[in-house]
Amino acid sequence: MAAFPAPARTTSMPTLPSSASAAPRDNGMSLVNLAARQRMLSQRMVLQTVLAARGSDLHLKAARGTLALFADSQARLVETPRHLDAGSADVIRKVYQGPSGVGATIDQFAQQVDTALGLTERQSPRVEDALARLVESTDGVLDALNTATTAFDQVSKTRSETLMRELAGIVESIQTVAREAKVVSFNAQVMAARAGQHGREFAVVANVLSGITNEIDGLSLQAVSLAGRSRGSN
């Protein structure tokens, strides 16, 4: 790798639109998107660190911000198993901490970024070697982050499928109750008709029950439609 010149620090260097500041915080971001964003942040950190080593204080500050965001997001992802069901938690633990886990690779990359930035801040002549090692690690960390993202995508799809099955079971139960209620309503209307004048109030109740069952049918159809759209979007 060619040596990186280390001129005096300056803030007049041209900047990329996305590198002038850290990425926005993960407000409401799904775990899959959070894991996928780590890939983008890793490449942003490499570029920012290289530009910082060339003398840009602006990129040095931006690199520190991106590294903090990357570390915060990584900590959240690694802690995810605490909030998942046993099967999903096992998938995530293995991807980070198993025999072929990617956690160590990701942590080592973040440490390399921190080291390179520290050497840059001290204007150390060893910064070129640190940058060389950092750039060489890029492919490996991208593979690791891709593996983690795939695992979170798998967990998300499995949870979605489980939810859809549960929803389908609930809808089926509601429809069964609605059918039984319709039978009761029909029998009540027949009995009210036979009772004549004395069954008028009973008929009113039967009609109300019939209306309720129709509303239940409508809600069940909406739930089935929603479940279908959710399944199709995954």
**pLDDT tens digits along 157-191:** 887 777 777 777 777 777 777 777 777 777 777 77
Q: What is the mean pLDDT of the chain?
A: 81
CA angle at 76 for the pair 115 and 111, rounded to the nearest 5°: 10
CATH topology of domain 31-160: Four Helix Bundle (Hemerythrin (Met), subunit A) (1.20.120)
Q: Could you tell me which residues come within 8 angstroms of residue 19 by beta carbon, excluding any fewer than 6 positions away?
A: 44, 47, 48, 51, 59, 62
User: By the 8 A CB rule, do 175 and 220 touch?
Assistant: yes
Residue 114 has pLDDT above 80, yes or no: yes
Residue 7 pLDDT level (bands cut at 50, 70, 90): very low
Q: What are the residue ranges spanned by the domains of the chain?
A: 31-160, 163-233
Q: Which residue has the tokens 């799809």?
A: 157
Q: pTM of the predicted model, to two decimals?
A: 0.67
**Residue whose C-alpha is closest to residue 69's, from 103, 102, 113:** 113
